[in-house]
């Protein structure tokens, strides 16, 4: 369901979104989608990435692959202790191991295999509905799979994109990731989603950091509420006030 944006705000927000997209492309370059990740790999990797950093979740994923190869049946049928052992670097392994097994069980039951390539031909909202019906798969994970596996029309919102969207004024200061996802999806065409997603995360890591945004060297100053209404914000405001 698209968010309701007042018509007066729609044009202004769309112009801001287009300016942000273009400016980040100028600043960081335009990332090109070079090919789809495997959807089941992406699902498992995203389950492992909850509440940890990329290094730890990547190590857990690599260890899972080292232990079981590409044999998802072997993971599904393995003792939980063996999966936990492999994914331990990701933390929360007592929750993540059964979530991985439950997800694999559902996919196997639905498809008879671990091939989700049929999702590429579905409208994004149908693919999203299927993926979010899997155990433990939320909107963010489903959107990541649709974008990174199929270059589909979904805009995942992580903590960087949530923070930057709130500061820019693309969303309200209390907006949830799901609401922000809907706003971006209603403002820009799907072909912008992959490069914009990548560049907003780069921007969040390198310039618009959570505690110390480097506004003095930011190319988005002209389009940023946080910068242009400095007196109304304090650092961390987006977390207190949304």
- Which residues form the interface with ligand SF4 (CB under 6 A)? 164, 167-168, 207-208, 213-215, 218, 220-221, 224, 226-227
- Minimum distance, C-beta of residue 166 to ligand SF4, in the bound complex (Å): 9
- Minimum distance, C-beta of residue 240 to ligand SF4, in the bound complex (Å): 15
Burial 107-121, CB ≥16 within 10 A → b, else e: beeeeeebebeebee
DSSP code, position 52: S
Quick one: 86 or 168, whose CB is closer to ligand SF4?
168
Q: What is the largest CA-CA distance in the chain?
A: 58
DSSP code, position 208: S
- Minimum distance, C-beta of residue 215 to ligand SF4, in the bound complex (Å): 3
Quick one: 81 or 211, whose CB is closer to ligand SF4?
211
- Minimum distance, C-beta of residue 203 to ligand SF4, in the bound complex (Å): 7
Dihedral class, residue 31 (left if φ above 0, else alpha if ψ from -120 to 50, else beta):
beta
Quick one: 47 or 183, whose CB is closer to ligand SF4?
183
Quick one: 74 or 210, whose CB is closer to ligand SF4?
210
Burial 144-155, CB ≥16 within 10 A → b, else e: bbbbbbbbbbbb
Quick one: 177 or 213, whose CB is closer to ligand SF4?
213
- Minimum distance, C-beta of residue 185 to ligand SF4, in the bound complex (Å): 20
Is 125 exposed, middle or buried, given 0-12, 13-18 or 19+ CB atoms closer than 10 A? exposed
Q: How far apart, in whole angstroms, are the C-alpha atoms of residue 55 and residue 91?
A: 12
Q: How far apart, in whole angstroms, are the C-alpha atoms of residue 167 and residue 161?
A: 10
Quick one: 113 or 228, whose CB is closer to ligand SF4?
228
Torsion sign across C-alpha atoms 153, 106, 1, 156:
negative
User: Are 39 and 206 a contacting pair, CB within 8 Å?
Assistant: no
Quick one: 156 or 213, whose CB is closer to ligand SF4?
213
User: Are 222 and 233 a contacting pair, CB within 8 Å?
Assistant: no
- Minimum distance, C-beta of residue 148 to ligand SF4, in the bound complex (Å): 24
- Minimum distance, C-beta of residue 58 to ligand SF4, in the bound complex (Å): 27
């Amino acid at each position: 369901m698209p968010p309701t944006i007042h018509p007066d705000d729609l044009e202004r927000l769309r112009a801001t979104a287009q300016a942000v997209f273009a400016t980040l492309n100028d600043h960081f370059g335009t990332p090109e989608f070079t090919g789809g990740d495997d959807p089941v790999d992406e699902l498992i990797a995203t389950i492992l990435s909850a509440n940890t950093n990329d290094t730890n979740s990547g190590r857990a994923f690599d260890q899972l692959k080292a232990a079981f190869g590409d044999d998802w049946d072997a993971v599904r049928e393995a003792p939980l202790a063996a999966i936990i052992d492999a994914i331990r670097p990701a933390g929360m392994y007592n929750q993540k191991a059964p979530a991985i097994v439950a997800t694999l069980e559902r996919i196997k039951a639905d498809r008879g295999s671990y091939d989700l390539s049929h999702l590429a031909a579905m409208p994004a909202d149908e693919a999203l509905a299927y993926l979010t019906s899997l155990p433990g798969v939320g909107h963010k994970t489903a959107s990541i799979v649709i974008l990174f596996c199929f270059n589909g029309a979904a805009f995942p919102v992580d903590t960087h994109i949530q923070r930057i969207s709130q500061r820019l004024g693309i969303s309200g200061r209390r907006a949830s990731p799901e609401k922000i996802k809907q706003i971006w999806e209603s403002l820009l065409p799907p072909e912008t989603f992959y490069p914009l997603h990548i560049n907003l995360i780069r921007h969040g890591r390198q310039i618009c950091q959570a505690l110390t945004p480097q506004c003095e060297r930011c190319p988005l100053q002209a389009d940023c509420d946080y910068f242009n209404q400095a007196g109304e914000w304090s650092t961390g405001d987006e977390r207190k006030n949304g």
